[in-house]
Amino acid sequence: MRFDKTIIVGGTNLLYQIADIAADCPQLGNIEIFECNENGMAKKRDERIVYKRMTDRRELMRALEAEDGRALALSVMNPYILLKEVVEKENLFVMNLHHALLPRHRGRNAEAWAIYEGDTKAGITWHRVNAGVDTGDIYLQKEVPITEKTTSLRLLTQLNQAALEGFRELLLKGFENVTPRKQEADGESVLHLSKDIPNGGRLDLSWPAAKISRFLRAMDYGILNVMGNPKVELRDGLYTWKSYKIDGAGRGDETGTEMISENNTLRIVKDGMIIILNKLKRLETKEDGEII
């Protein structure tokens, strides 16, 4: 399948990596990047690629609706849902990269939800875009295992690499040589919105240790801080923390929480695990409340 043009829409560095691969494929035609990240454009430019800034959704939709040639449109970490009028244009072949094994975890921050909900594997899906949200026919999926040490930042990095590998595979096969499959109905398929955060971003000390671990790792995007600072409620107020440590070397018969005032550390011991929250900072105080 040959195209007059390939338009890659979205943000983050993955956008440019996909464009670099696309620029080496003559059958994809001219390559354009529609940069939707308000932080700006790529510092390093490739003369084979045309760069356009599209930080306004209406401007982006107008540009896509105006395309009249045969074009491949790739949505890569794109913050905007494309209009029905765009995805159903006959001259546009619109594909989306999703960081989950659809139909599970549609929507935003899928890697965090996969960790928090205890999935043993995550993955990426390249799929056609239809009028729904992450509901189009699947062209390719690649799996990535989730371990007891996987954080959202680490998983996101692994998924990005899987996305690049998957894109190369699709180009080698040719889109026309891939038989897409419809997404199977899944009662567990939930749409996660950008405002959704595991348990509202609050750690519950009554959880089993395994769930506390999953929460901490799901919220951990490193310096990206995608979901904001997690919080925990103690008897004298609401706290956040700077770092954490999870150790499986605790005694199975030991359980409880201990506040170490020297360095503002909370030590949680249960289910044979020791979990430490380092450098706690109080956000709110309360005059009355139950002791946790």
CATH 3.40.50.170 residue ranges in the chain? 5-192
Token output for 179: 């038989």
Token output for 271: 């289910």
Inter-axis angle of helices 209-219 and 152-173, to 10 degrees? 60
- Beta strands 30-35 and 5-10 are parallel
H-helix segments, 66-143: 84-87, 110-116
Q: Listing from the earlier edge strand, what are the strands of the sheet with 5-10?
A: 49-53, 30-35, 5-10, 71-76, 92-98, 121-128, 138-145
Q: Is domain 198-285 classified as CATH 3.40.50.2300?
A: no
Instruction: Quote the CA–CA distance of 188 and 177 in Å, as a whole number.
Output: 31
pLDDT tens per residue, the chain (292 residues)? 899 999 999 988 999 999 999 999 999 999 999 999 766 566 678 899 999 999 899 999 999 999 999 999 999 999 999 999 999 999 999 999 999 999 999 999 999 999 999 999 999 999 999 999 999 999 999 999 999 999 999 999 999 999 999 999 999 999 989 999 999 876 678 999 999 999 999 999 999 999 999 999 999 999 999 999 999 999 889 999 999 999 976 565 667 777 776 679 999 999 989 999 999 999 977 654 443 3
Q: What is the pLDDT of residue 290?
A: 43
Please tell me the pTM assigned to this model.
0.92
Q: What is the pLDDT of residue 291?
A: 34
92 by Cβ neighbours in 10 Å (0-12 / 13-18 / 19+) ranks as buried
CATH 3.10.25.10 residue ranges in the chain? 198-285
Taking Cα atoms as reference points, which of 199, 268, 197 lies closest to residue 234? 268
Question: Tokens 């620029």 sit at which residue?
Answer: 23
Question: Residues 6 or more apart from 45 whose CB is under 8 A from it?
Answer: 51
- Beta strands 243-247 and 281-285 are unpaired
Name the superfamily (CATH) of residues 5-192.
Formyl transferase, N-terminal domain (3.40.50.170)
Instruction: Quote the CA–CA distance of 145 and 289 in Å, as a whole number.
Output: 41
Long-range Cβ contacts of 22-28 (<8 Å, 24+ apart): 22/74, 22/171, 23/48, 23/49, 25/171, 27/1, 27/2, 27/3, 27/174, 28/3, 28/72, 28/171
Cis ω for the linkage preceding 198 (within 30 of 0) = no
Instruction: Quote the CA–CA distance of 131 and 163 in Å, as a whole number.
Output: 23
How many helices (H) and strands (E) would you count in the chain?
6, 17
Buried b (16+ CB within 10 A) or exposed e, 57-86: eeebbebbeebeeebbbbbbbbbbbbbeeb
